[in-house]
Structure 1
């Protein structure tokens, strides 16, 4: 491996191989957070699970990532991002086979938890690796590519699932990861650079890691338990534990010189506001993407493939709009771009909630396009703002917070879908979409509040 400096990045041939290794790994890791959504009704039937129970196929993966993301990012600072990323690829690829071989909901849930730890290893260090791969003057290009991959992969699950399900069973939703994972691992072994220097004086704080896992685990368990209608006493106990452990966790982070959860960054107003809009937007996206397949298949009687194709305009519109938004951020304030994009997003979600009783394909398609275009216009500038508003030496912490916010929003959205289906059995999708539109509306207002903030606190 050739020597590199922090600012010079990799030479061009090696840079392309390295960014391709990142792109392939992140694509499958993010994609697997949503790829099972289209097939959830089918998987639920085959594994004898209810629609609400089947949400755990999505939730288990997201939960495993959110409780381990920050810890793995911290470990990457200590032992090297390259090593964490390569281990993540191995674990992710092997557990994808485990998912495909599952013959019960319990077995598939366990497999998805293990797969989530592999995905977390990939997501925890990808931005840190990009900072090493790209020269400082071209770092924005690398961040732009990464933001586009994450945004499109988050929304493209139904499209990819439709293509796979048109020729194979749901098990191939997971088996398809194997050749991609092997290809990414070969590229990672050959092209990924090691850290120019390991962190000095940084020690992994085990109590912080435990409290981090417990805090986010209890939060998601509380949301899911409430959605599933669990015993009120158990929920109350979880709430009390969450408040106690969460408070101790945050107080500990504020005292540490190298905090696992960089809560001090929330003191930067535009950072905190941007993080809030990210949580709300991904929660709204997940509410729509998880609930719509049940409506399209169980109410309208569409096939899995037809369902996936009807959801395809969303990621296509995001793919078109995200690069445009990336260029607009140089001239237009991210708060204004975000407010416009989120207003479009909210309008599309409310329009989906108000679909006629027997909608034509066109009725669904234009609404999905509006959602995707609005989401794409908002997401890239928002991610750029989160990273650039933090001090340069805290970019890793900002990246970890960005990933945590996205996953917290997605996991909360999936749990809220289960709540809507339990409360409104025959109209779960309708109320999920109304709730999604409400989250997007709140995010629109929060994004507009950023307009008076400086465009970038740290260049």
Structure 2
């Protein structure tokens, strides 16, 4: 396989050493994807088991997301000080041990605390995973390996609801966390033996003031988005306003700090590369569209078309299947052709898929739903890996951890903002049982508009 074959002048690890280093990153990615997808499905069972309300149980998911969001920027900078390998292994060990803590939790408060700790471990690995892949593989294979990574994420997303369902029926929810233990052991062993060691570390101290501003900014943004997960109330509106103000003020302070310190937490000069900046913006907006759609689809299937939750989950499968079909080939093509053109084409196909979903008849057949979802997945798969390659290839190698962190932040906050948008839209409707489903379709129109905006930014990038 060409991924593990060396050529003269290759950077990264020698061919044969790449396999187990890649395995360490891929197994860790699998753990993170499984953890998010399977836990969300188990929330109703957790609510009953722990004797708490459904709205309180949601903090099992939100606690993890909050920890990841708050620490992404810090870990992107910390990796340059302590080394990718050491940070990755530390985060992986913390994630695995806290998974055991989650499984043994006997109350909601214990579980949320363990999930928050688990999120910190997850952020330590997620923030630098693409940068590690760039260090493992030569630049000529960067698009291909990022395509394989996208393939893995899509496959895990597709099968995790089925695995979760089997475990919840045959065992119970703590086993969703315990499966991380054998995977974590494999990943730790591979990381210890095969991940590349740093050539040179940044000896400058970490920007602690900038880190504080980033934690407040990123955490407030997530909390603001979460206030829209329930129906709007005056209390929620006041909360949202408070968090929004905190995010804006701390965000302005963070940017000011980064511009005026000699040791920035996030060097803003990486955004001086217009291709990198435009790719980051394009990624952010596209994930807003995906975030809206991922929340709107279950409401469409279950509340408008009256399908069961199991059927709804199966109807969602064509989307990740579409990514599985296209992502590896898109990454391979991006190593040979202009990745901006390929990702723009993917966005156009993605947008067409969203318009087709919005044009579903009042009583569609399952086949009618499936092929439209498949088009969305094909488009997103064609977009994602070339766009990620464009981001990672347009920064200097010593800034790869920062680019990797920005990539993770664009994905996380794009999805969160998309969730907030659809939350606002859904809160305006007291009933989603009408055959027209106007509220859900309005969400699709917002998602389609976001994709159109992403296409505009992507076209600008193509011309550069």
Deviates more, 1:420-429 or 1:118-127: 420-429
Alignment partners' CA distance in 1, 2:312 and 2:241? 39
Unmatched tracts of structure 1, length 5 or more:
1-5, 454-459
2:269 is equivalent to residue 264 of structure 1? yes
Q: Helix, strand or coil for the counterpart of 2:127?
A: helix
What's 2:415 paired with?
410
Preserved CA contact (<8 Å) 2:79 2:401: no
Structure-2 separation of matches of 1:361 and 1:423: 28
Report the CA distance shift for 1:371/1:59 in structure 2 as closer, same or farther (over 3 A). farther
User: Structure 1 residue aligned with 2:458, among 447, 452, 455?
Assistant: 447
Shift of 1:294: 4.3
From 302, 311, 314, give the equivalent of 1:306: 311
Computed over aligned residues only, the root mean square deviation of the Cα atoms, in angstroms, reads 2.9
CA distance in 2, matches of 1:37, 1:363: 27
Equivalent residues of 2:225, 2:416 under 8 A apart: no
8 Å Cα contact 1:93/1:178 also seen in 2 = yes
Q: 98, 111, 114: which is aligned to 2:114?
A: 111
Give per-residue Cα distances to partners, 1:112-154, cap 9 Å, x unaligned.
Answer: 32221111111123233334433xxx23425532454246516
Classify 1:300/1:226 alpha carbon distance in 2 versus 1 (closer, same or farther; 3 Å).
closer
Alignment equivalent of 1:210, drawn from 195, 209, 212? 212
Q: Is residue 212 of structure 2 the alignment partner of residue 193 of structure 1?
A: no
In structure 1, C-alpha distance between the alignment counterparts of 2:191 and 2:336, rounded to whole Å: 36
The residue that corresponds to 2:445 in the other structure is 434
- After TM superposition, the structure 1 stretch with the greater mean CA deviation from structure 2, 98-107 or 432-441, is 98-107
What CA distance in whole angstroms lies between the structure 2 residues aligned with 1:258 and 1:78? 12
Show the counterpart of 2:6: none
Q: Which residue of structure 2 aligns with residue 381 of structure 1?
A: 386
Distance 1:216 1:151, change over 3 A: farther
Distance 1:103 1:377 in 2: 44
Looking at structure 2, the residues matched to 270 and 351 of structure 1 have their Cα atoms a distance apart, in angstroms, of: 30
Displacement of 1:213 in angstroms is 0.6
How many residue pairs are counted as aligned between the two chains? 443
Q: Please list, as runs of the form range in 1=range in 2, the aligned pairs for 1:387-398 lying within 5 A after superposition.
A: 387-398=392-403
- Please name the residue that 2:225 is paired with: 223
Correspondence list, 1:35-434, <5 A:
35-39=38-42, 49-50=53-54, 56-101=59-104, 107-134=110-137, 138-142=138-142, 144-150=144-150, 152-153=152-153, 156-166=156-166, 168-169=168-169, 171=173, 172-200=175-203, 202-226=204-228, 228=230, 229=232, 230-297=235-302, 299-330=304-335, 332-427=337-432, 429-434=440-445
Q: 1:234 to 1:102 in 2, by over 3 A?
A: same
Comparing 241-250 and 24-33, the one that deviates more = 24-33
Matched, 1:29 2:40: no
* C-alpha deviation, 1:222, in angstroms: 2.1
* Cα separation, partners in 2 of 1:223 and 1:434, compared to 1, 3 Å: same
Q: Distance in 2 between matches of 1:425 and 1:412?
A: 22
C-alpha displacement of 1:246: 1.3
Which consecutive unaligned segments of at least 5 residues does structure 2 have?
1-8, 433-438
* Alpha-carbon distance change, 328 to 147 in structure 1, aligned in 2, over 3 angstroms: closer
Is the 2:206–2:263 Cα contact (8 Å) retained in structure 1?
A: no
Q: Is the 8 A contact 1:97 1:174 kept in 2?
A: yes
Per the TM alignment, residue 183 of structure 1 is displaced from its structure 2 partner at its CA by: 1.6
Question: Counterpart in 2 of 1:456?
Answer: none
